């Protein structure tokens, strides 16, 4: 029973305390002074939205809300902040003046690129860790994590 308690404690820590925070990683490894002044004012979601817009030019608010499973109001708040910090631009389509589209600025592109580089490095570390397990062990780990996730979200 002691090992089960330890597993539950470790999974809880993974879910809360030691989960990877892209924002913390960005602030730790980014050398760009401009980004270092902006990052403390952004949420993780704001960084992820910026990266998404960088990959998918001319995004609409409704598309962003759907992609990130948040309300349009939440996206509006994030977009105001991203515009304020000059990470994204807002523009309108000629044929539909009501529809607002967003694209990244050069500063936003820098943030998105930094985010992707850091997350890729972190993913490589995770994969290197997982390489120490054989296929059967990985299947057991995956089965455990899937089952544990199900009981936490029921």
What is the pTM (predicted TM-score) of this model?
A: 0.79
**Residue environment code for 73-110, b if the CB has 16+ CB neighbours within 10 A, otherwise e:** ebbeebbebbeebebbeeeeeeeeeeeebbbbbebbbb
SS3 59: strand
Is 80 exceeded by the pLDDT of residue 9? no
Residue 10's pLDDT band (cuts 50, 70, 90):
confident
For residue 8, the model assigns a pLDDT of: 73
> For the residues of 86-102, what is the DSSP string, one character each?
TSEEEEEETTEEEEEEE
For residue 154, the model assigns a pLDDT of: 61
| Cβ proximity of 91 and 103 under 8 Å | yes
For residue 20, the model assigns a pLDDT of: 60
Q: What is the number of residues in the chain?
A: 154
Written as six digits, the tokens of 62 are 């409704």
For residue 42, the model assigns a pLDDT of: 93
For residue 17, the model assigns a pLDDT of: 52
Is 90 exceeded by the pLDDT of residue 95? no
Tell me which of 15-24, 128-137, 145-154 is least confident: 15-24
Written as six digits, the tokens of 2 are 């002691």
**Residue environment code for 115-125, b if the CB has 16+ CB neighbours within 10 A, otherwise e:** beebbeeeeee
Residue 12's pLDDT band (cuts 50, 70, 90):
low
| Structural domain total, the chain | 1
For 73, the domain range is: 2-152
Average pLDDT over residues 36-46: 91
Question: Residue 81: which CATH number?
Answer: 1.10.10.10
Question: In whole angstroms, what is the distance from residue 93 CA to residue 104 CA?
Answer: 16
Average pLDDT over residues 127-141: 90
- Write out pLDDT tens, residues 59-94: 999 999 999 999 999 999 999 999 999 999 999 877
């Amino acid at each position: 029973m002691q090992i089960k308690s330890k597993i539950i404690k470790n999974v809880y820590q993974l879910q809360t305390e030691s989960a990877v925070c892209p924002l913390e990683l960005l602030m730790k490894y980014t050398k760009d002074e401009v980004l270092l002044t902006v990052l403390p004012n952004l949420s993780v979601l704001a960084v992820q939205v910026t990266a998404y817009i960088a990959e998918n030019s001319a995004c609409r608010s409704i598309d962003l809300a759907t992609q990130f499973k948040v309300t349009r109001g939440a996206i509006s708040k994030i977009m105001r902040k991203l515009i304020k910090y000059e990470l994204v631009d807002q523009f309108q389509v000629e044929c539909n003046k009501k529809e607002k589209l967003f694209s990244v600025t050069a500063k936003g592109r820098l943030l998105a690129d930094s985010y992707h580089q850091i997350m890729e490095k972190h993913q490589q570390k995770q994969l290197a860790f997982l390489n120490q397990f054989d296929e059967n062990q990985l299947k057991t780990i995956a089965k455990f994590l899937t089952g544990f996730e199900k009981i936490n979200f029921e």
